[in-house]
Every structure is written in C-alpha cells, then in structure tokens.
Amino acid sequence: MDYWMDLWRQGQSPWHSTDPNPYLVKFMSTLNPNDKDQCLQFFLPLCGKAGDIRWLYEKGHRVWGIECSPKAIEEFFQENQIPLSIERVNENCTKYMSLDERIQVFVCDFFRFDPKWIGSLTVDRVFDRGSLVAVGVQDRVQYAAKMREILFQAASPAFKYLLSTYEYDPREFDGPPRTVWREEIHHLFGDLMEIELLGEFDESSVGKQRFGVSHMNRIMLLLTRKRTTTTTTTNLN
C-alpha cells in the first residue's frame, strides 16, 4: 500500500476520473435491473476518490469503501463539496462519512481492515474496478481472503460483485494494473461464487499508449453467491 500512498501524496493519480467508470454505467442494469432497488449498499475496495462514489450517491445508493490514502478521501469530500464528519476507529483506521452517512470510507491498510468495523453496513453490490489489478501478484491470495472475510460479515443474500480485470502479456508490462487471468479468478473465488463473463473489450489502443503492450483486453465478470444443489445459500467464509 505504500506505493499507492506515495503516488497520492505526490499528486500522481493518472487512473483517477471524476466521471463514473463507463463499465459501471454500462453494467448498472445488471447490478440493479430496471432500477428496482432505490437504496443499495455498494462496497468499493481501494476506492480512491473515484467519480463512481459521487455517481452512485446521486442515484440514491449508499457507498462505503476502504482506501489507504487520507489525502484521496479528503480531496473527494472537498472537491465534491460534501460536508463530512470524521471518526477515529482506532490508531490505524479513520472513518470519513457524509453527514447523512450514505458515504462512509475507512482509511486504513486494506489488509489490516477488521470486518468487525463494518457494524451495520452491508454489501449488496461490489464494484472492483482497480483494486484486484492493483495489488501485487504475491498478495492476491491475501486480497481474496480479506474480500471473503468482508463478504462473510456483510454480504446480503443476493449480493452481486462486478469485477473488472485486464489480460495482456505480462512479459511486456508488469503493471499496475496487472494481468489477472480468468483462471486465477476461478482459483481465488470459484469455490464459493458463480463467475459469469459479462464481456471482453479490446483496449489495445490504450494499452499501447499507456503501457507499451501490444494487446490488452478488459474483462468484466459478475460474481454471485454459489448455491448448492438443495438451493441453500453457500457460506462465504
């Protein structure tokens, strides 16, 4: 996490956009068909100050996240002119909240986040756009374990997890964002979740320009709770 903290401190965040991620917008109808649910709780891991937070908030949803950089979250509230309160969770974690508590972000090391801090929050939806692809290859198992802890603690029965990853030749560029092959997603989550391919999108022009790779695909996956043959809900722990 120190790498990302340093980039935020230096004002280097080329991945950031004040607009909502186009794939979140594209697949919102999958996450919430016909806008049936007016107040879902979205969890955004390693959320930064993404425009997704404001977009979901303005659509009436609740958004909570985990972010390592206090600078990113302070800038989010300042730039969006959202009044906030700040609560010290413990010596290693601070929670930033909008006054209506519909936005809550825990600022701490993701891997040291304690699911007990979630309290009454739930996870109806997850949007993981740049989180899994940001962590080191050596940390992916630990990342998946932490996500499973959070989901076990807070996931609603019909939660949906929208996951965005990249596939390109890692010999050409070692990230971040890093290649995460679909087979690895199945290895990390497939025992507990159904994994559906929503789309595969050629982003080679961006890959060549920004990362020097010859070919790059963005992969959009939907993860949902796996059900047993007796239709009982699978425990996510």
pLDDT per position as a tens digit, 23-38:
999 999 999 998 888 8
Query: How does pLDDT run across 184-223, given as a tens digit for each residue?
Result: 999 999 999 999 999 999 999 999 999 999 999 999 999 9
Dump the DSSP string for 97-148.
EETTSSEEEEES-GGG--GGGGTT--EEEEEESSSTTTS-GGGHHHHHHHHH
Residue range(s) occupied by CATH 3.40.50.150 in the chain: 1-8+39-121, 127-237
In this predicted structure, the answer to whether residue 16 has a pLDDT above a threshold of 60 is no
Q: In whole angstroms, give the CA distance from residue 171 to residue 184.
A: 17
pLDDT at 38: 82
Give the sign of the dihedral formed by CA 136, CA 137, CA 139, CA 144.
positive
Name residue, tokens 């990362």. 211
Class of domain 127-237 (CATH, top level): alpha beta
pLDDT at 35: 82
pLDDT at 60: 95
Query: How does pLDDT run across 125-158, given as a tens digit for each residue?
Result: 999 998 999 999 999 999 999 999 999 999 999 9
Reading the block at residue 8, the tokens are 């935020």
Cβ partners under 8 Å of residue 222, min gap 6: 27, 30, 160, 161, 162, 163, 195, 196, 198
Query: Rounded to the nearest 5 degrees, what angle is found at the Cα of 86, between the Cα atoms of 85 and 91?
Result: 170
Give me the CATH code for the 1-8+39-121 domain, please: 3.40.50.150
With residue 219 as reference, give the H or E element that holds it: strand 216-225
